[in-house]
Structure 1
Amino acid sequence: MSLSSSRRRHRAALLALAAALTVAAPIAEARPGGGGSVGSRGSRTYTAPSATPTAPGGGMTMQRSQTAPSPGMNAPGMQAPGRRGGFMGGLLGAGLLGALLGAGFFGGLGGIASMIGLLLQVALVIGVVMLALRFFRRRNEPAAASYARTGPGTGGPMGGPDRGPMGGGMAPGGMSSGGVGAAPRAPQMRQVQIGPNDFQAFERLLGDIQDAYSREDRVTLSNLATPEMVGYFEEELRANASRGVINRITDVKLLQGDLAEAWGEDRTDYATVAMRYALKDVTVERGSGRVVSTNDPEATELWTFARQPGRGWVLSAIQQTK
Structure 2
Amino acid sequence: MFIPSTRRTRAATVFALAAMLAVAAPVAEARPGGGGGMGSRGSKTFNAPSSTNTAPSAAPIQRSQTQPGSTMGNPGMTSAATQRPRFGGGFMAGLLGAGLLGALLGGGFFGGLGGIASMIGLLLQVGLIVMVVAFAVRWFRRRQGNPAPAGMARSSMSGNSNPAGYGSTPGAGAGPAMGAGSAMGAAPRGAPQPTVGKVDIGPGDFQSFEIALNDVQAAYGRGDVAALRNLATPEMAGYFADELRGNESRGVVNRISNVKLLQGDLSESWSEGRMEYATVAMRYAITDVTIDLRTNQTVETGEPEALELWTFVRERGGRWILSAIQQGR
Question: Is TM-score (shorter-chain normalized) higher than 0.5?
Answer: yes
1:45 matched to 2:45? The reply is yes
In structure 1, distance between residues paired with 2:9 and 2:294: 49
Shift of 1:310: 3.1
Residue 269 (structure 1) aligned to one of 256, 276, 279 = 276
Which amino acid in the other structure matches residue 40 of structure 2? S
Tell me whether 1:255 sits opposite 2:254 in the alignment. no
The 3 A distance-change label for structure 1 pair 279 and 5 is closer
Partner of 1:30: 30
CA contact (8 A) 1:10 1:108 kept: no
**1:285 alignment partner AA:** D
Q: Read off the aligned partner of 2:41 and give its amino acid letter.
A: R
CA shift at 1:192, angstroms?
Answer: 1.2
Matched AA of 1:275: M
Match of 2:232 among 211, 225, 230: 225
Deviations 1:169-223 (A, max 9, x none): xxxxxxxxxxxxxx64333111111111111111111001101111122222122
Give 5+ residue unaligned stretches, structure 1. 80-85, 95-103, 153-182
Q: Does 1:240 align with 2:247?
A: yes
Aligned-pair distance for 1:109?
Answer: 5.0
> What TM-score does the superposition give when structure 2 sets the normalisation length?
0.62
Which residue in the other structure is 2:314 paired with?
A: 307
Judged with a 3 Å threshold, the aligned counterparts in structure 2 of structure 1 residues 262 and 284 are, in CA distance, closer, same or farther, namely: same
User: 2:196 matched to 1:189?
Assistant: yes
Q: Which amino acid counterpart does residue 258 of structure 2 have in structure 1?
A: D
CA distance in 1, matches of 2:47, 2:17: 34
Amino acid at match of 1:46: F
Identity of aligned residues (%): 52
Tell me what 2:165 maps to.
none
Question: Secondary structure, in 3 states, of the residue corresponding to 1:33?
Answer: coil
Change (3 A) 1:287 1:49: same
Q: Shift of residue 261 of structure 1?
A: 1.3
State the SS of the aligned residue for 2:277: strand
* Structure 1 vs Structure 2 CA RMSD: 4.1
Which one of the candidate residues 278, 285, 291 is aligned to 1:284? 291
Aligned residue type for 1:185: P
Cα pair distance change 1:291/1:186, threshold 3 Å: same
Counterparts of residues 167-206 of structure 1 (less than 5 Å):
184-206=191-213
Number of positions where the alignment pairs a residue of Structure 1 with one of Structure 2: 245
For residue 286 of structure 2, give the secondary structure of its aligned residue in structure 1. Answer: strand
**Where does residue 63 of structure 1 map in the other structure?**
62
- Would you say the 8 A contact 1:37–1:318 is kept in 2? yes
